[in-house]
Amino acid sequence: MSTQTPAPESATTATVHNRWAGLAVLAASLLVVVMDMTVLNVALPDLIADLRPGAVAQLWIVDAYPVVLAGLLVPVSSLADRWGRKRMLLAGFTVFGLASLLALLADSPGEVIALRAVLGLGGAMIMPTTLSLIRTLFPDPAERATALGIWAAMASVGSAVGPIVGGALLERFSWHSAFLVNVPLMVGAVIAGLVLLPESRSSRPGRLDATGVLLSVGGMVGITYAVKHLGKHGADGQGLVVLVVGVLAMVLFVRRCLTQPEPMLAVGLFRDRMFRSGVVTAVAHSGVTMALLLVGSQWLQLVLGWSPLAAGAALLPMALGGMIGSPFAPAVAARAGVRPVLVTGLLLTAAGLATIFVLPRPIPYPGVAVALLAIGLGGAALGVGSALMMGRAPAHQSGSAAAIEEMSFEVGAVLGVSILGSLAGLVYRAGLPDGVPDPVSESVAGALGTSVENAATTSFIDAFATVGLAGALAVLLAAAVVWWWLPRDLDLADLNH
């Protein structure tokens, strides 16, 4: 890896490296990580049929990746500020590729969960460093917003390509192939990153704090486990104790950071209402969309009986909406202001989710396609939200801002899948006849071909619609908060701290 002297964060690196070529590498890394998340949604029914994991194991197969990623974002970002962001990014590419290769050896739910955890480590090394490098490559706030719009559009491309590539692979190969597709992509990313990316470090890096690492990781894992456990078993003692311990750990971590002069995570950034607005936008949108993709993929394959490839193609409208809108959102924000763009994006997302709830039963796919398109268009505002967070942070705290930005997406994904996924499970089980066997109560896949198949598929449709309603209400609340916090006349040019 490169050993060149990092450029100061305040200096543009365009004189040494083509910053737009560098952006292409960074955006491609996001593409691969998002592909990995959406490929799993398509592969999950085949994986469940092969390995027969229980309901909690199914949620951990989905959530192990974002939980580990979110828990490690803070220490890894702090380490990257010291060690070098390019070095951390290339190391992350390597870990991600090697973990994907190990999928060939996974043949039990526990091994898949462990594999997803290692992928989470690779993702934690990749995601915040990409944003920190964008902050360094594009010092101009308007140009940075455009770059982040393109970067966010790649998330939509990944969500479009992932299910289709995964579906095509699953037509001929086992679910293992959904992981193996990452390997050649990571090899290419390492080569391109070595050639095109500059090195950078923080001029005032936060301290590496072992106690803070334990508190942040333990708090994230504890809260996520508790939400899952309570959703499945109700308010029992074990779930409540773990929840209290997790929340307490996170509170202690925040207090520890607030008392340190150069903390591992600059939690003081949350004092800025504009910064908080970007966080709320990211948490709300990522939470509802990840839950919707999880439940929607199962609806397409298990209720409608579509193949993995057809199910992947059916999710395209959401990705197309993001691909169309993301590059234009910064230009609209430059003319109309930041607040209208973010709020309109959230309202479009809420409208799409509400559409799923009000559609007639059985839910017709064309109506869902329209809803997915609206949700994708709403997600186009995420690039502006990212620009809001990165722009409001001082240059030396770009690592912390990037960690918080990525943590917002991952925490949103964890909470969305945990809370809305658990809600879907509760509604599904409530609609089943009394006395059904455990495989039926844990998943609609267990009911296929049995005497209760019709009752189970009908109940799952109700669960899908309920996710739409609950998600719409949550996003409407987020839109109201963002409208209240953001100044009416906030412009992209005002985003530099």
Range with lowest mean pLDDT among 14-23, 111-120, 334-343: 14-23
pLDDT, position 244: 92
pLDDT, position 368: 94
DSSP string computed for 108-153: SHHHHHHHHHHHHHHHHHHHHHHHHHHHHH--SHHHHHHHHHHHHH
Residue 8 has pLDDT above 50, yes or no: no
pLDDT, position 232: 62
For Cα atoms 294, 368, 163, give the angle at the middle one, nearest 5 degrees: 45
Average pLDDT of 36-45? 72
Residue 55 has pLDDT above 50, yes or no: yes
Greater pLDDT, 417 or 276: 276
Which residue(s) pair with 7 in the sheet? 200
Highest mean pLDDT among 60-69, 100-109, 186-195, 469-478: 469-478
* CA 109 from centre of chain: 22
Q: Which residue has the tokens 């763009």?
A: 341
Q: Is 7 helix (H, G, I), strand (E, B) or coil?
A: strand
Note the helical H segments in 364-420: 365-379, 382-392, 398-415
* Joined tokens for residue 346: 């959230």
* Joined tokens for residue 87: 């070095």
Burial track 268-304 (b if 16+ CB lie within 10 A, e otherwise): ebeebebbbbbbbbbbbbbbbbbbbbbbbbbbbbbbe
pLDDT, position 50: 83
Which amino acid is present at 390? M
Average pLDDT of 379-386? 82
Are 145 and 134 in contact by the 8 Å Cβ rule? The answer is no
How high is the mean pLDDT of the chain? Answer: 81
Residue 277 has pLDDT above 60, yes or no: yes
* Joined tokens for residue 397: 């705290």
Greater pLDDT, 363 or 51: 363
pLDDT band per the 50, 70, 90 thresholds, residue 234: low
Length of the chain in terms of residues written: 497
Distance (Å, whole) CA 369 – CA 381: 20
368-377 per-position pLDDT tens digit: 999 999 998 9
Average pLDDT of 247-270? 85
